[in-house]
Chain A
Amino acid sequence: MSLLEIKDLHAGIDGNEILKGINLKIGPGEIHAIMGRNGSGKTTTANIIMGHPDFEVEKGDVLLEGESLLELEAWERARKGVFLSFQYPQAVPGLQVGNFLRKSVASIRGEGEAKGSGFREGLTAAMEALDIPRSFMSRYVNDGFSGGEKKRFEILQLMLLRPRLAVLDETDSGLDIDGIRTVSEGVNAAIRGTESGALIITHYSRILEHVQPDVVHVLLDGKIVSSGGPELATKLEEKGYEWLKQ
């Protein structure tokens, strides 16, 4: 059974159809990438999978391990194992990073996982892997974070929440080369060698050099127009998107 299956998905916002019939299957342990230009429907795809209330699904289905997600609220999807690394993570002044992580782990993985030395050790290891200093814990969630800090924090959450399916929306944007490498290592650690899967949404092939995708899809005007191996990303980098239009 597929980990994630998207079937003939038509969806949009405020009555505008953005996705015009998407089909996609991700198996356990696989990493897929969706590439496309601005406005092609990449972020809409991410929002639909996570359950953003502003987006409407007109037709089709999104299934996690055979079960439709569409009737579930975002928090219910999160508890079933869906994770979204946001393009623009939101600041919550006054909410401490440490408390927030503990509460999120408790909600998604269970109270027992958010307590004791197991939690602390996992947290310390993930922070070291991502080059996040200890002082980060007492800051407020995304409040005053630099672009790079926000992205690292998203991946820290990915590593701690251990989702079945991770969707990464433009995680590489706003990161320098070192940042991309660090974040990519985090993604690899969270997904590779597990039964989980990931969908990486990106403009550029840079992150895909560090997180080798099994399949690359090209999204153009709300449809997947081409799918292939990692070489497709390289080709897009060289030739752009125009050639796919024919």
Chain B
Amino acid sequence: MEENSDARVAVGEYKAGWHDPEESTIRFDFGLSEEVVREISSLKNEPQWMTEVRVKAFKHFSERKMPTWGNMSMLEEIDFDKICYYLRSSESTEKDWEDVPEDIRNTFERLGIPEAEQKWLSGVTAQYESEAVYHSIREDLESQGVIFLDMDSGLREYPDLVKKWFCSVVPYSDNKFSALNTAVWSGGSFIYVPEGVHVEMPVQAYFRINAKNMGQFERTLIIADKGSSIHYVEGCTAPTYSTDSLHSAVVELIALPGSHIRYSTIQNWSANVYNLVTKRGIAHENAKIEWVDGNIGSKLTMKYPAVILKGEGSHAEVISVAYSGAGQHQDAGAKIHHLASNTTSKILSKSISKNGGRGSYRGMVTVSPKADNCKLNVVCDALILDEGSRSDTYPTMEVANPTARCEHEASVSKVSDEQLFYLMSRGHSEEESLAMIVNGFFEPFTRELPMEYAVELNQLMALEMEGSIG
């Protein structure tokens, strides 16, 4: 077993830290070059234009410097030559769990995915390393014209749609990691919801890294046509290893006029995973985009879900929580650009740091000169559980239109002994009491999640509080 005891300590009782024996059908050597990029593309029989985009993105990645903000020392530790950029563990994407290789199926069963699918989901895609191993959508949605595919199948079956929107929200040159993702992307989801169709139950994607030193670069594109709605939920876990893995996704959302996209994430990577993700959506007239973003795991997360409010009357919400334990840094936040009049936005960020963990809120809201009567609301709260843990706030507001109404609140608090004593006097152990305070602090976030996820998140946080009383 490769599980490192330090990493174990760092994540406490991380429940998803097991790994399967590695049985790959295709595994690339460590390191990245133009050949590797071309090989990934040819392996997937991609159209010429995609190969070219990949190669351009790779060149940009090679030249682009690391970000000069965030946790630079942690970023510098990433060794791009010691990462496997493509690993295929299953020959194909199956529609029946029975056809998924046994080890992989067992892993997803332990994670509760097939069970959740039966109970409350409209569709599921399960990605293992670089490729989707399982994919399914309810027939009634398919018959209404809803497309829900893994991204590779999306490109094969709907090349024109993909070509039209791919990189339209997040250009490969946006940042070093969006360039990396565009060069080596594999898997992820492709969703198109036709005009006026409401997908009532959420669709879910689950991402699992199993191999050591793995890089997972899924690419997701969601297009909600006029007046439609969809709720997309993603979860992710990885084994606990002593060496680092890299997860660098790009997610692009296009909310056409009057549509509604809600994108919920519970990120629970093990404490050896770098999670450097670019998520952005464009909201057209009267459309609504919501990012509900929970960051519990990973070594370093840098993620700032963004919304460009391009159409009049559009609305954006980013609700996020971050938990940083020993050795973890969650550098998370939100970006919202008000480009049109009568647009509204709301950011709620909640972060908890414990055992020396570090949580940073980094947010940017801009209002362009032409956008009249915009409303912005930013609230960020931090809860620090012990000495030596850290919380920072980097809020930026650039408002170039005087008619905008802006509200901003920030708070930093600590758990008081009196609060703990009060709860303990009602029969709750110190750990249970702390979990009650922490879950209460996260409540404005959890109430936005589907019930099943809210329960899971509360249990996750209760686990994180175990053994925390010295």
Contact = CB atoms under 8 A, between A and B. Distances in A.
Nearest to B415: A92
B436 A95 contact: yes
Interface stretch (B179-187, B253-261, B437-445): B437-445
A43 to B, nearest CB: 12
Interface string B295-324: 000000000000000000000000000000
A104 B443 CA distance: 19
A90 to B, nearest CB: 4
A53 B421 contact: yes
Contact of B441 (A74, A83, A94, A141): A94
A145 interface: no
Contacts of B444: 94
Interface in A40-83: 50-54, 73-75, 77-79, 83
Given A53-B421, A89-B422, A95-B436, A107 B428 contact: yes
A104 B430 contact: no
A93 B440 contact: yes
Grouping DSSP codes into helix (H, G, I), strand (E, B) and loop, the B interface class, with mixed when no group exceeds half, is: helix
A95 B426 contact: no
Given A92-B440, A93-B440, A94-B439, A107 B426 contact: yes
B115 to A, nearest CB: 24
A140 B440 contact: yes
A184 interface: no
B424 A104 contact: no
B429 interface: yes
Contacts of B416: 90
A117 B129 CA distance: 49
Contact of A90 (B422, B439, B442): B422
B370 to A, nearest CB: 39
Contact of A94 (B423, B426, B427, B443): B443
A62 to B, nearest CB: 15
Contacts of B436: 92, 95, 100, 103
A86 B426 CA distance: 11
B73 interface: no
A157 B417 CA distance: 21
B419 A90 contact: yes
A161 interface: yes
A84 interface: yes
A190 interface: no
B418 interface: yes
A214 to B, nearest CB: 25
Contact of B430 (A73, A89, A100): A73
A52 B427 contact: no
Contact of B425 (A54, A84, A93): A84
Given A53-B417, A90-B419, A92-B419, A78 B440 contact: no
A124 to B, nearest CB: 20
A92 B423 contact: yes
Contacts of A107: 426-428, 432
Interface in B251-302: none
A19 interface: no
Most chain A CB within 10 A, of B424, B429, B430, B442, is at: B424
Nearest to B442: A94
Contacts of B441: 93-94
Interface in A1-52: 50-52
Contacts of B428: 75, 103-104, 107
A104 B426 CA distance: 6
Given A53-B417, A73-B430, A92-B436, A78 B424 contact: yes
Contacts of B433: 75
Nearest to A96: B443
Among B419, B423, B425, B444, residue most surrounded by chain A Cβ atoms (within 10 Å): B425
Nearest to B445: A94
Nearest to B446: A94
Interface in A104-135: 104, 107-108
Contacts of A51: 424-425
A84 B429 CA distance: 16
Interface centre among B422, B433, B441 (most CB of A within 10 A): B422
Interface in A159-209: 161
A161 B425 CA distance: 11
Interface in B402-422: 416-419, 421-422
A78 B421 contact: no
Given A54-B417, A78-B425, A93-B441, 13 more contacts: A52-B421, A53-B421, A75-B425, A75-B429, A84-B425, A90-B419, A90-B423, A94-B439, A94-B440, A95-B440, A100-B436, A107-B428, A108-B426
Q: Which 6 A-B pairs have the closest CB atoms?
A: A94-B440, A94-B443, A107-B427, A95-B440, A90-B422, A74-B424
10 contacts: A51-B425, A73-B429, A77-B425, A90-B416, A90-B421, A94-B439, A94-B444, A95-B436, A100-B426, A104-B426
